[in-house]
Amino acid sequence: MRPDRYNARESEPHWQRVWDERKIFESSNDDARPKYYVLEMFPYPSGRIHMGHVRNYAMGDVVARYMRARGYNVLHPMGWDAFGMPAENAAMQSGSHPATWTYANIDTMRRQLKSMGLSLDWSREIATCDPSYYKHQQRIFLDFLKAGLVDRKTARVNWDPVDQTVLANEQVIDGRGWRSGALVEQRDLTQWFFKITTFAEDLLQGLDTLDQWPEKVRLMQRNWIGRSEGLRMRFAVASDPRVPAASDIEVFTTRPDTIFGASFLGLAVDHPIIRSLAEKNSDLEKFCDECRRMGTSAAVLETTEKQGFDTGLKVAHPFDDSILLPVYATNFVLMDYGTGAIFGCPAHDQRDLDFANKYGLSKTPVVCPSDVDPASVVIGDDAFDGDGVMINSRFLDGMSIADAMDEVARRLESRELFGRPQGRRQVNFRLRDWGVSRQRYWGCPIPVVHCEKCDVVPVPAVELPVILPQDVDFKTPGNPLDRHPTWKHTTCPTCGGPARRETDTMDTFVDSSWYFARFTDPWNTEEPTDPAVISKWLPVDQYIGGIEHAILHLLYSRFFTRGLRATGHADLDEPFKGLFTQGMVVHETYRSGDGSWLAPTEIRIDSTADGRKAFALTDGSEIEIGSIEKMSKSKRNTVDPDEIIGTFGADAARWFMLSDSPPEGDVIWSEEGVQGVARFMQRVWRLIGDLKSVAAPVGSMAPVHFGETAITVRKATHNALAKVEDDIVRLRFNRCIAHANELVNKLGQTIGSIESAEIGDDLAYACREAAEGLVMLVAPMMPHLAETCWSDLGHEDLVSQARWPEADRSLIREDVITLPIQINGKKRADVVLPRDADETTIRTTVLADDSVQKAIDGRPVKRVVIVRERIVNVVI
């Protein structure tokens, strides 16, 4: 007995069990079919999934299911980015051990993901906090160390003196620790670094090959790497009692051509010379401290005035030592870029001009725009950074900028200052090495020991993993590993003497920099990866995740890929061939009169002709409907996936997430919208029932001849299939859904008008084809409903394993087409013509048409533009 209504709450768990039992989503490394690796960014196990996860994983699942139907051996794994601070925060607040907390969250979220009906290979599940995972990460660390890709050096960190911990930049709010509220100190600590700069050039060049990445992300990475070509040049310091004889200051410049426009040297407040001067000059020290306090956030810098402190030092101009330039400590030169020193050329750099205007420094123009008389060049409030010809520059006069740059570089390279060449061409990168040391417990231990005799000694590979101790307490501030009574005490692998374990753990970005590789062979207990298996599966064909990872995660993964290749773990250029960044899930906000936020479950919406209004469920008072914002706990505009799935089913949630907006844009979650999806699902269920009642049996042969109605049905089916084929691979899910809607509308109309006497073999076949086509077409997006319909249509097998019914595009091609006719560019008529009509026929037919004649109204026709199979434009 076929129920009138489809019951998602019964069907969904049923099919999930069937898929699970038959292990149909597990992929084999030995499968000979062409591979397709689809991956969504794995989640942090924060507690429960949110609607953003639902959207992200729904998208990936559509691709996985579709590619499977197209005959690919699909790898679609899932795991957990399981190390990180929230687990330690929870430990401090509730006393639960980070591992307990994390694994409990994983269990909850796994259950939630399973209730979504995702076609995931759970046999490959990994959690980065598991020793079976981080063992291999430690091994990679050691191999990178051996390959010279790891460095240990001093770096400045934000130090919270109360919590006794290093803070990330985003944990410093107004100069204070986010948790303790203590004033944050800058400390120099010896830290571990991955030498990502080794690959700076390659990481930049590799971007050109990533043509299936969003241009926006490539641009962001390009800017982050920040390659620039320029010249390092040294200025001799004029003799001064405060500095040693034969001192020099080295600057980096991308505009050596403007050297005759130089009017000062600007040094970072952390520049060694400034630091040493500040030791004996309290005014300078005060200035430096103030600059440091201002921070480096864009918002601050935007509004900050250029400031300087004249040190009294002078340097000689390299081409005329009678010209002495003042040396300033400045707030706009950064120590960690270039050499921490610049020469300022006010005429051709806006910042330098602002600075010069403030301190009354000269501003000689040295580049003249080609259409301006050199004598009339004046520098006002705007620096000129365009192209032109050199002026006021002695031996450079008349040269182009490029030639002048080259000439200056050439002269300084071949000349010595204090026994070394005065200039050196250099390619400079903004990219800095990746500091991975974290003074925390819940992370991957860095596998080295410190021995008094042998210094830093790697833990031998056979002794891995270095496992985190279980018995730690979070009651006192600081790193639990560091104050653990026994854990850090060990013996030196080299000399056997007493040694101390490294108590820093790795940045959690390390964990996610190679998980995509581990998924290919997660059972491998000996090696992180098997290069042969890597070559089989990687690169990831389609990677899907949030734009917030556009720079760091993706760049680190690209670095790791290069490191893994250098250490023989993977023969691979780039990890992610296709990248897609999906938009957020947003929702209306609701705010009561007293300013407090209300959750969507606490209000009722009334829609009438004069608009939508919200009322509180508790007392019926009217609630203001606020702006649409990213779902967040603070604004209380979240919806819980469990509740949605419980009420409407996973299929409805998935479908709605994909339906309304382009996938890269934000989607507005609305109750009305998901109700619309629920209606659509019932419509599909009824339509399949209607089609089934007239459809031929499973596997019927196609009849030779098709009548008019059958052809209409077939055209609708194949048209929809063709459009979905085109759109699904481009991830245009919203359009796929529109095509599905159109097909349902069309089939519903046609079926409704069929007289039972009309049904012959041809229509029966067409209805079977239509029903199965529709089910296949919605299956990647609403797999449970599709399975139920598939089974209802008499299939023993699963739609999840069925082959895609490729669209027959010859059926869609019409022999007779309706051509829109424009008169002077405005549509005035339609003319029905054979598709292959020649231009003369088209012309005569069009001009003979009544509506066309009426529109022409006797005026002479100047021209008839015919675009075949598209449009005709009559010009009068």
Scanning residues 605 to 664, which ones bind RNA (CB under 7 A)?
607-609, 612, 659-662
The stretch near RNA (CB under 7 A) out of 139-147, 692-700, 745-753, 794-802 is 745-753
Contact between 342 and RNA (CB under 7 A)?
A: yes
Letters for 684-713 (x = contact with RNA by CB under 7 A, - = none) are: ------------------------------
Tell me how far, at minimum, the Cβ of 342 lies from RNA, in Å: 4
Contact between 228 and RNA (CB under 7 A)?
A: yes
Tell me how far, at minimum, the Cβ of 716 lies from RNA, in Å: 12
Which positions from 162 through 221 interact with RNA, judged by CB under 7 A? Answer: 216, 219-220
Which positions from 232 through 291 interact with RNA, judged by CB under 7 A? Answer: 251-255, 268
Contact between 828 and RNA (CB under 7 A)?
A: yes
The whole-angstrom separation of Cα 590 and Cα 603 is 8
Tell me how far, at minimum, the Cβ of 10 lies from RNA, in Å: 18
The whole-angstrom separation of Cα 33 and Cα 71 is 7
The whole-angstrom separation of Cα 251 and Cα 412 is 13
Helix, strand, coil shares of the chain as percentages rounded to 5? 40, 25, 35
Contact between 873 and RNA (CB under 7 A)?
A: yes
First vs last C-alpha separation in the chain: 66
Owner of token pair 């675009």: 867
* Nearest to 6, CA basis, from 770, 752, 683: 683
Contact between 675 and RNA (CB under 7 A)?
A: yes
> Which position among 14, 553, 683, 795 is part of the footprint of RNA (CB under 7 A)?
683
DSSP string, 680-745: HHHHHHHHHHHHHHHPPPTTPPPPS---HHHHHHHHHHHHHHHHHHHHHTTT-HHHHHHHHHHHHH
The stretch near RNA (CB under 7 A) out of 226-234, 410-418, 438-446, 838-846 is 226-234
Neighbours of 372 (CB within 10 A): 15
The stretch near RNA (CB under 7 A) out of 295-303, 408-416, 475-483, 761-769 is 295-303
Contact between 3 and RNA (CB under 7 A)?
A: no
> Which position among 153, 286, 415, 679 is part of the footprint of RNA (CB under 7 A)?
679
The whole-angstrom separation of Cα 239 and Cα 314 is 8
- 761, HSE (Cβ side, Cα atoms, 13 Å): 7
Tell me how far, at minimum, the Cβ of 234 lies from RNA, in Å: 14
Contact between 387 and RNA (CB under 7 A)?
A: no
> Which position among 822, 833, 843, 847 is part of the footprint of RNA (CB under 7 A)?
822
The stretch near RNA (CB under 7 A) out of 90-98, 483-491, 672-680, 808-816 is 672-680
> Which position among 243, 670, 694, 795 is part of the footprint of RNA (CB under 7 A)?
670
Contact between 676 and RNA (CB under 7 A)?
A: yes
Letters for 776-815 (x = contact with RNA by CB under 7 A, - = none) are: ----------------------------------------
Tell me how far, at minimum, the Cβ of 330 lies from RNA, in Å: 8
Please state whether beta strands 227-236 and 176-177 pair in parallel, antiparallel, or not at all (unpaired): unpaired
Contact between 682 and RNA (CB under 7 A)?
A: yes
Contact between 738 and RNA (CB under 7 A)?
A: yes
Letters for 466-495 (x = contact with RNA by CB under 7 A, - = none) are: ------------------------------
Q: Which C-beta is closer to RNA: that of 22 or that of 292?
A: 292
Q: Which stretches does DSSP call E strand in 100-214?
A: 121-127, 150-160, 165-167, 172-173, 176-177, 185-194
The whole-angstrom separation of Cα 611 and Cα 625 is 11
Contact between 737 and RNA (CB under 7 A)?
A: yes
Tell me how far, at minimum, the Cβ of 143 lies from RNA, in Å: 30
Which positions from 418 through 447 interact with RNA, judged by CB under 7 A? Answer: 430
- Report which secondary-structure segment, H or E, holds 764: helix 761-778
Long-range contacts of 200-208 (CB under 8 A, 24+ apart): 200/225, 200/227, 200/429, 200/431, 201/227, 201/427, 202/562, 203/431, 203/555, 203/558, 203/559, 203/562, 206/558, 206/573, 206/574
Owner of token pair 């519903």: 748
Q: How many residues does the chain have?
A: 876
The stretch near RNA (CB under 7 A) out of 319-327, 503-511, 803-811, 862-870 is 862-870
* Nearest to 140, CA basis, from 575, 456, 458: 458
* Nearest to 356, CA basis, from 310, 288, 321: 310
Contact present, 753 and 694 (Cβ < 8 Å): no
Contact between 673 and RNA (CB under 7 A)?
A: yes
The stretch near RNA (CB under 7 A) out of 66-74, 88-96, 294-302, 397-405 is 294-302
Contact present, 175 and 295 (Cβ < 8 Å): yes
